[in-house]
Amino acid sequence: MFLLAGPHLFAQEAQNLRLQAARQQAEESAVRGLEWLMSAQNADGSWGGPGKPSPSDMFWSNPETHLSWQVATTGLAMTALLDALGQEGLLSAAQVKQAQGSATFAVDFLVANSIVKRPNEWDTDNTWAYVYGLAGMTRAAKDPLFVKSNRAASIHAAGIDYLTQLMAYQTPSGGWAYYDMEQTTVVPQWATSFQTAVAILGMLDAEALGWPVDRERLQIAVNTLTRCRLPDGSYTYNVKPVPTYDAGTGIDNVRGSLSRIQVGNLALWRARQAGYSSSMEVKEAARGLGLLFREHHYLDVARGRPMPHEAYHYNSGYFYFFGHYYAGELLPHLPAQDAQRWAPALVREITKTQAADGSMFDFYMNSYGRPYGVAYGVAALLRARTALSPTDPAKSPDH
């Protein structure tokens, strides 16, 4: 009996050791990233800025464009800090105090800059401020650091500002995007699947807090995102009247859609959980993670390249951390065995990008690239850490 059971027990012990090593790697990398993030915070509480432009960045000279990116980057960074503060045993007492101060400083910046204007007739990057400003406010509104603080009312008010502006930019197709280059209209016409998915997630979080979300318009957005999903599990880049699959080296297939798949699946699954009409199954979300790591080399090739969409299947460098962040956000929604299957791969693909100073980087974009890279990366590592925590199988939730 012992001899028959022996190989199985040894295999299980080896697997436990691998999961433990991945969890420790996630912890160490996340802490280093957080230390870098706190050291890089601007004097006004934000992250990033128009400094250090490359020749191509000179095109982006509108101050409102930079405010949009700065608000978005700050919303992401603050969320990562609050996520870290919620992780037991991760930070030292001194690091907790520093992170609390940094997050509070960031909240004050986001509250003070909750009204962001459209940069010009074709540039609607203000929508990035709306989706991640809203994400930051919904995260702060439910965090113990702020729930009973004297900032709670201003966080709520700023959150409504971001939500109201976001709804004003929903296109006739039901989605959102960050340019309107084909024509100049008050309500933009172009929409993308991935920003629509981020907007859906923000509105779901706002609705959960009791904020005034128009359920009919949110359902329209869910329907729009559903229409972007192709039979192979990928998502079209644009919102199209008739979605089509790109053969060969196009972007509208799995290899060009690796990052969009994660946020799209997450948004549709969470919408279904919240009572909206959505056909997304959790097994499809797990399948999407498998596609990410099976075809991951296409993101590796793109990461760090200076020109958008210059890699195979039109992948851009800035797809990298965006996709991994939402892969991490999917983990808590998966059965434990699926989450533990993919969490080590997520840890590996993030930690390999970390520089000696703790920063992470996927695209040169003024002074925003490293802060948003670290914010996305650390948040994903924290989700992986939780997924890799020791659990009692008998107490695992029924998925």
* Confidence band, pLDDT 50/70/90 cuts, at residue 390: confident
Q: Is residue 51 part of a domain?
A: yes
Q: Determine, yes or no, domain membership for 140.
A: yes
Nearest to 77 by CA among 376, 390, 396, 339: 376
Q: Is residue 195 part of a domain?
A: no
Structure tokens at 70: 């700065």
Calculate mean pLDDT across residues 159-180: 97
Q: Over range 178-207, report the average pLDDT.
A: 93
For residue 392, pLDDT over 60 is answered with no
- pLDDT tens digits, residue range 274-305? 999 999 999 999 999 999 999 999 999 999 99
User: Assign residue 53 a region: left if phi > 0, alpha if psi is -120 to 50, beta otherwise?
Assistant: beta
Residue 177 domain-assigned (yes or no): no
Q: pLDDT tens across 220-233, in order?
A: 999 999 999 999 99
The predicted structure's pLDDT at residue 395: 43
List, in order, residues 6 or more apart from 282 with CB less than 8 Å away.
269, 333, 334, 335, 399
Domain contains 211: no
- Triad 101, 105, 110: Cα angle to 5°: 145
pLDDT at 135 over 60: yes
User: Which percentage of the chain shows pLDDT scores above 90?
Assistant: 87
Range of the domain at 51: 46-169
pTM over 0.85: yes
| Mean pLDDT along residues 115-133 | 96
Q: How far apart are CA 212 and CA 149, in angstroms?
A: 22
CB proximity list for 71: less than 8 A, separation 6 or greater: 46, 109, 110, 113, 116, 128, 129, 132, 133
Residue 82 lies in a domain: yes
Q: Is residue 145 part of a domain?
A: yes
Place of tokens 């502006």: 165
What domain count does the chain have?
1
Whether residue 207 lies inside any domain: the answer is: no
Alpha helices in the chain (DSSP H): 2-39, 63-85, 93-112, 126-141, 144-147, 152-168, 193-208, 215-228, 258-273, 282-294, 297-302, 319-330, 336-351, 369-387
